Each structure stands twice: as C-alpha cells, then as structure tokens.
C-alpha cells in the first residue's frame, strides 16, 4: 500500500502516533480489553477505533458515564499503559508511513501529535528506534482540547515555527483528519489494520 500525498511543497510533517507511525492499535486494544475487563467494563472494538486519538483518561471517564461504572481513572489508565508496555516487543511500524519518515527525514521537520501519554509515545518510538527523527512531541496533557479540535496540531505547528497551511498531517482516524482540516492543514489518511488487509 503506497500513500498518495497531496501536492506540496510542505514545510513540516505532523504524524499521529498510534495506528499511523506504529501499528499499535491491535496491541492497545488487547491492553484495553484486559484492563477494563478487570472492572466488568465492555469496550467494543469498533468504538475503540472510532475513539482513536482520544486521551486515555477521557476514554475511561466516558465509559464510566455510559456504563454507570466508577472505575478509578488514574489506576485503570496506569494498568492499561503497563499492559501495553509488556507487548512493545511485538510492535511494528506501519510500512507506508515509515517509508515517508525515512525518505523525508532531514528535509522537513517532523512532529508527533498524539492523544496518548508522552511516556506511551516515547516507548513506542524508542521500540522502533524512531524517537530521534522527531523535533517535537505533542501528547496528552500538552493541550486542553483533544482531537477533533485543531489545538494539538496548531500547537505542533507553532513549536516547529511553521504556518498551519504549510503542514501535512498523517492520520489514521476520522477524528484526526477532522482536527487537521479544522487547523487548515492538508492531510493524508492512513488505512486502519482491517482496511489494509482488505486491500493487501
């Protein structure tokens, strides 16, 4: 699967992390199912993918409200992250995105813009020896409004000193693409794991 990029030139590339740079969504889902299952909380796989890009704490709080549960947000978040870290040795990059990181590194600055925690993003990128490719990481806690709000992408552009219209966003979720569009940025959609299988 080749990614077709919109015509540039672009002065910066902004990448979502999970499901975009790293093929981590299946691993994250296993971690979620285990951590939430310990509290009798259901988390449908389609909903998990629809909520891709939302901060961990936000997901737990929303599930609490929807299912009338009182899971301790911080404890469940820590448990979920710990389970994900245990699976990091299985982690692989998304090949079509890795290709652009390798080709364009050093030509334009890169940023990661993620709903995951800084620790999780750092661990994922270190596992694939990609962390040093990125000038800045914008993670959960760095902004007050998460995707689909444009704030995370606008923060990354400002940290890189590049105008929003000169940035290209790589994203795997509808929410992420909406955030990029709201920020006035061009974007390229990375296929979800099941979409890649059906086209592979």
Catalytically active residues are: 16
Q: Which of 188, 193, 191 is nearest to 15 (CA)?
A: 188
Beta bridge partners of 171: 189
Cα four-point dihedral sign 19, 24, 29, 31? negative
DSSP-assigned letter for residue 39: T
Contact at 8 Å (CB) between 30 and 83?
A: yes
Angle formed at CA 173 by CA 93 and CA 73, multiple of 5 degrees:
90
The strand order across the sheet containing 186-189 reads 136-138, 110-113, 12-15, 167-171, 186-189
Contact at 8 Å (CB) between 115 and 17?
A: no
Contact at 8 Å (CB) between 116 and 17?
A: yes
In the block, tokens 């364009």 appear at 104
Contact at 8 Å (CB) between 69 and 75?
A: no
């Amino acid at each position: 699967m080749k990614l077709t990029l919109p015509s540039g030139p672009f002065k910066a590339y902004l990448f979502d992390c999970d499901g975009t740079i790293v093929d981590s969504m299946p691993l994250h889902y296993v971690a979620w199912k285990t951590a939430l299952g310990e509290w009798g909380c259901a988390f449908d796989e389609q909903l998990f993918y629809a909520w891709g890009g939302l901060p961990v704490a936000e997901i737990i709080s929303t599930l609490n409200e929807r299912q009338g549960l009182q899971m301790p947000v911080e404890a469940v978040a820590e448990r979920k992250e710990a389970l994900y870290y245990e699976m990091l040795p299985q982690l692989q990059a998304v090949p079509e995105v890795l290709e652009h990181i390798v080709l364009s590194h050093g030509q334009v600055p890169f940023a990661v813009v993620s709903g995951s925690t800084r620790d999780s993003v750092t661990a994922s990128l270190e596992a694939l020896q990609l962390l040093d490719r990125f000038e800045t990481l914008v993670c959960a806690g760095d902004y007050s409004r998460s995707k689909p709000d444009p704030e995370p992408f606008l923060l990354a552009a400002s940290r890189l000193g590049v105008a929003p219209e000169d940035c290209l966003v790589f994203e795997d979720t509808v929410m992420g693409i909406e955030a990029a569009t709201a920020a006035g940025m061009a974007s390229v959609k990375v296929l979800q794991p099941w979409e890649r299988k059906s086209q592979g």
